[in-house]
């Protein structure tokens, strides 16, 4: 299965299987932030969670 790397501004990096919902990606970094998040940047494009 293909994976994608997610890099946060603080340099934290994690790999996820391609197709993982953005809400799950956010929760993997910080559950509280994930609860408040409504969007994410994917290759510079804003995507709804």
pLDDT score, position 12? 87
State the total domains in the chain: 1
pLDDT of residue 8: 83
Q: Which regions of the chain are under pLDDT 50? A: none
Which residues constitute the domain of residue 15? 3-40
pLDDT at 24: 94
Q: Do the domain assignments include residue 48?
A: no
Task: Establish if 47 belongs to a structural domain.
Answer: no
Does residue 45 fall inside a structural domain?
A: no
d(CA 17, CA 31): 19
CA distances, 44 to each of 1, 17, 39 (Å): 24, 20, 12
In a domain, residue 26? The reply is yes
Is 0.85 surpassed by the pTM of this model? Answer: no
User: Is there a domain that residue 17 lies in?
Assistant: yes
Q: What is the pLDDT of residue 46?
A: 95
Phi, psi of 22 (to 5 degrees): -60, -30
Q: Is residue 49 part of a domain?
A: no
């Amino acid at each position: 299965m293909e994976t994608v790397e997610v890099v946060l501004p603080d340099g934290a990096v994690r790999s996820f299987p391609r197709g993982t919902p953005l809400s799950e990606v956010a929760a993997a970094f910080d559950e509280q932030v994930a609860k408040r998040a409504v969007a994410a940047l994917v290759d510079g494009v804003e995507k709804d969670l």
